[in-house]
Structure 1
Amino acid sequence: MTVIHWSGAVIGLVIAIILILRKVNPVYALFGGAIVGGLVGGAGLAQTTQFIIDGTNSVMGAVVRVLAAGVLAGILIESGAAEKIAETIVEKLGEKKVLLAIALSSMIITAVGVFIPVTVIIVAPIALPVAKKVGITKSSILLAMIGGGKAGNIISPNPNTIAVAKGFNVELAQVMIGAFIPAVIGLIVTYFVATLISKKGEMIKESEIPNRVDNKTKPSFGKAMVAPIVAVILLAFNPVGKMLHMSFLSNLQIDAMYILPIAGLIGLFAMGQRDKILDYTTAGLNRMTPTVMILIGAGAIAGIISKSNLSDAVVYCIQSTGISGVFLAPISGILMAAATASTSTGSIVATGTFGKAILAVGIAPLSAAVMINTGAVVIDHLPHGNFFHASADAVKMNIKERMKLMPYESIVGGTMAIVATIIYGFLK
């Protein structure tokens, strides 16, 4: 079998990034980069096609689970449950702890399966008027939302967590539980850094506070929490059973493909909105479709990179500098997420490309999954990705101000990656 030269894989990735920056649809950009990478790297047309097909096939498990997650996400968002959770947390913690409330609500909403950009869009209208009242800046509340979202993302049934779990053949719940301590530390760091910059940057103008015309009746907080609680309980069955040596629970192999839709439907019935099942699930599917397409594009370029000797080249560089091989997992997550400006795409590419090399240096599959997943949130917010622009638009922030926030986002993500590396790389 032809091994693609690492330079071809790198050129393909660079081409994909350039195309994305040129506003080409990310899916086609990733496919275009994959084709160029295969051909430049020494593969023929037929081999390049096969490598791309193999790569897309490798992400189908993640795609199925992401589509299943759309049921839960659609129900939480369209029913107003996610918004109700955010409102309640901000209300209960009060104005004095508004940044903590914003970060915590963002963390919880993302942790139950809502994408970070959607979380920011949900929380921003709630956060802006309160932040204006207490006199803190756009930068601080946006960092609180993003940092909380990043913390929630690494413990969520979102595409990135699903991808690393599937890639290393470990339970999704184990990856979610494994990242809990880094997530909590990330939340704490988010709060302190957001407080530190609470007077830096642009203040919120009255004209920028959206008029919240709410025509739908939101559920109570208790009913809104039913679906997330059911999902957490069901996902915890297997890992808790293994920890407590309870054979019934440990042998209960219920995949996230079943758990997430079931939790969503139970929540829907608890909220008394069973007549909305078609509307909400269709909306959830529509929200997931762009992500699924990007996952397939990521699989295409991952197929090319995984058939190259890029991982060998990176391992050689790490070994020649004397750095421990433990760092390969978080570094691969950081680099691939930065290259694609996407947590989910970066996780897929890093897992597919460096997975075997990471396991070869003695890292356990669960440890590798957690470290890649936390590494992927360090610099996934670069300007060539959609999240950068969507988050700026949510608080009416200009590009210059948005770019100033990037180092602070990396502090939050970097902290979580460091904590995960210490726990799973050196203490395990």
Structure 2
Amino acid sequence: MATAIEISWIGALIGLALAIILILLKLAPTYSLILGAIVGAFIGGADFAEAVGILISGTQSVMGTVVRIIAAGVFAGVMMESGAAETIAKVIVDKLGGTKAMLSLALATMIITAVGVFIPVAVLIVAPIALSVGHKMGYSKVAMLVALSGGGKAGNIISPNPNTIAAAGGFKLDVNQVMIGGLVPALFGVAVAVILASVMKYKGTKVTDAEVAELEKANAAQLPALSKALVAPLIAIVLLMISPIGSMLGIDALASLKIDSLFILPFAGIIGTLALGKRTKILDYCGAGLNRMTPTILIIIGAGAIGGLITASTLPAQVVALVESSGISGTFLAPIAGVLMAAATASTSTGVILATGSFSHAILNTGVAPLSAAVMTHAGATVIDHLPHGTYFHVTRGAMNMSMKDRMKVALYESMVGLTMTIVAVVLYGFMI
């Protein structure tokens, strides 16, 4: 449904600002975004019918992303609920051993996030292992959470998670393109996380004997074998990589076989469930995965509404004109949008959704290629997405049983990891490619 009216940029800006303020005041993000879109439409000059048209056209534009995220819930539910992700994490830490503890913890969180587990859940899975290793080696909780969170951030920009699907959808790309595009920044990010964690591993609060005793009581669950746990992620990775590998090798038959993540992720999840011998649990895993995806889906609908407002307004043109008149390269608009929106919402996925939904047209109008824009926006969303007004800050603090003071210390180092990935993304995709 097209909207003939052109909304003033002031109305769009006020609507976006109102939505962010309401999110900070703890109103549900979906309601905050829709209310911001409505108020912005009225201030911008729309009547009741035109405001509804703006909301509907905006929400319709994100339905492709919504459907893909719903489909990804099958895969996420299998990995999170079956114990497959925890098995992968334990094996990585056990194989690398205590002497390479920070590397093993960062890699474990990176890999299980990269195969489709949400970053807060990834930290929750690896945290008990980290506390056990930390107690044995005398390492601080601050250092270990830097490794976990830094590894998770790196894995998050190369995963088929909602944030990556949103980054791809916002710039009309396949999710595998954005996953591959984030690989080099992710490797730099995990390297910086390991270095920072290693430098400060003896500084700060240590794990107590009582905490380890509690962990031993809780860790009685039977986990699947590694060979079974790897089936779902390996199938997903292989199928997602068929088309890119075909393009790189010049094999037209493979390059043209563009199987969408909409099909790949549920298929991999179902085959993984059968390999785990959990056929009777498949409905439970699907339900659990959908429940985990629901908050993100609702936020995307709200982001579509505010995106519809901004698309119908003169704000994108004003932003491009401002960038051009300031002399700043338009390349920087993509990472700045990611940084600001993720900081406002304290969430990677919500930040990416808002940045792409609201500023994708403005970013592309500066001449930046869609893939470059997606990777830079995505990386930018990891810089300050861990602030205290979001859930990630508190989930990870609870997982490591940390004081508020120690958790705040970690935030600085998390930002250094995110900033590293953003700088690498900008250099690579903004100026080299």
TM-score by length of 2: 0.94
| 1:225 aligned partner, one-letter code | L
- Unmatched segments (≥5 aa) in structure 1: none
- Say whether the 8 Å CA contact 1:167–1:352 is kept in structure 2: yes
Question: Who is 1:115 aligned against?
Answer: 118
Structure 1 residues 199-214: aligned runs within 5 Å: 199-209=202-212, 210-211=214-215, 212-214=217-219
Pair 1:241–1:47, CA change in 2 (3 A): same
Whole-angstrom CA distance in 2 between matches of 1:55 and 1:142: 38
Cα–Cα, structure 1 residues 249 and 214, in superposed 2: closer, same or farther, change >3 Å?
Answer: same
Greater shift, 345-354 or 59-68, is seen at 345-354
State how far apart, in whole Å, the 2-side matches of 1:357 and 1:260 are.
31
Residue 169, structure 1, aligned to residue 179, structure 2: no
Cα distance, 1:191 vs. partner?
0.5
Cα distance in 2 for residues equivalent to 1:382 and 1:97: 29
**Residue of structure 2 in register with 1:409 after alignment:** 414
Moved more, 15-24 or 255-264: 15-24
Choose from 309, 312, 328 the match for 2:314: 309
> Which residue matches 2:405?
400
Match of 1:380, SS? coil
Evaluate the alpha carbon distance shift between residue 46 and residue 203 of structure 1 in structure 2; reply closer, same or farther with a 3 A threshold: farther
Match of 2:302 among 279, 285, 297: 297
How far, CA to CA, are the matches of 2:92 and 2:250 in structure 1? 36
**More deviation in 186-195 or 132-141?**
132-141
Q: Which amino acid aligns with 1:176?
A: M
Q: Tell me how far 1:215 sits from its aligned partner.
A: 5.2
The match for 2:25 is 22
Task: Report the CA distance shift for 1:299/1:326 in structure 2 as closer, same or farther (over 3 A).
Answer: same
Q: Contact 2:320 / 2:365 at 8 angstroms: preserved in 1?
A: no
* TM-fit CA distance, 1:71: 0.8
1:254 pairs with 2:266: no
Spell out, residue by residue over 1:184-222, the C-alpha distance to the aligned partner (whole angstroms, 9 max, x if none). Answer: 111101101122232333333333444353454211112
Over aligned residue pairs, what C-alpha RMSD do you find?
1.8
For 1:155 and 1:16, how far apart are their aligned partners in 2? 29
Structure 1 residue 381 corresponds to structure 2 residue 386: yes
Partner of residue 81, structure 1: 84
Q: Is the alpha carbon distance of 1:226 and 1:140 closer, same or farther for their aligned partners in structure 2, counting shifts above 3 Å?
A: same
Q: Tell me if 1:191 matches 2:204.
A: no
Residue 344 of structure 2, aligned match among 339, 343, 360: 339
- TM-score, L = length of structure 1: 0.95
Q: Does 1:353 align with 2:358?
A: yes
SS in 1 for 2:218: coil
- How far, CA to CA, are the matches of 1:294 and 1:206 in structure 2? 41
Return 398-407 or 171-180, whichever deviates more.
398-407
Partner of 2:53: 50
Q: Which shows bigger deviation, 15-24 or 111-120?
A: 15-24
Counterparts in 2 of 1:274-285, with a 5 A limit?
Answer: 274-285=279-290
| Alpha-carbon distance, 1:54 to partner | 1.8
Q: Distance in 2 between matches of 1:153 and 1:379?
A: 14
CA distance in 2, matches of 1:402, 1:372: 26
Contact 1:34 1:300 in 2 (8 A): yes
Residue 127, structure 1, aligned to residue 130, structure 2 = yes
Shift of 1:2: 3.1
Answer yes or no: is 1:372 the counterpart of 2:377. Answer: yes
The answer to whether 1:273 aligns with 2:270 is no
Alignment of 1:34-49 (within 5 A): 34-49=37-52
Specify which of 156, 160, 175 is matched with residue 157 of structure 1: 160
Mapped partners of 1:401, 1:335: distance in 2: 25
Contact 2:347 2:385 (C-alpha < 8 Å) held by counterparts: yes
Does the 8 Å contact 1:302/1:348 carry over to 2? no
Residue type matched to 1:173 in 2?
Answer: N
Matching residue's letter, 2:153: K
Return the alpha-carbon distance in structure 2 between the equivalents of residues 360 and 85 of structure 1. 43
Structure 2, gaps ≥5 residues long: none
| 8 Å contact kept, 1:13–1:339 | no
Please state if 1:60 is matched with 2:63.
Answer: yes
The one-letter amino acid of 1:316's match is: A
Counterparts of 1:256 and 1:36, CA distance in 2 = 36
Counting aligned pairs with the same residue, the percent is 57
**1:327 to partner: Cα distance:** 1.3
> Counterparts of 2:46 and 2:202 in 1: how far apart (Å)?
55
Change (3 A) 1:49 1:63: same
Say if 1:46 and 1:402 are closer, same or farther in 2 by CA, change over 3 A. Answer: farther
Comparing 50-59 and 19-28, the one that deviates more: 19-28
* Structure 2 partner of 1:180: 183
Q: What is the aligned length? A: 428
Contact 2:24 2:344 in 1 (8 A): no
List aligned pairs for 1:219-230, cutoff 5 A: 219-230=224-235
Structure-2 change in CA distance of 1:245 and 1:79 (3 Å): same
Match of 1:106?
109
TM-superposed deviation, 1:357? 2.5
CA distance in 1, matches of 2:88, 2:169: 30
Q: Is the 8 A contact 1:295 1:344 kept in 2?
A: no
CA contact (8 A) 1:154 1:161 kept: yes
Q: CA deviation at 1:20?
A: 2.6
* Structure 1 residue 146 corresponds to structure 2 residue 154: no
Residues 318, 337 of structure 1: CA spacing in aligned structure 2 closer, same or farther, 3 A cutoff? same
- Does the CA-based 8 Å contact 1:165-1:172 persist in structure 2? yes
Counterpart of 2:349, as a letter, is: S
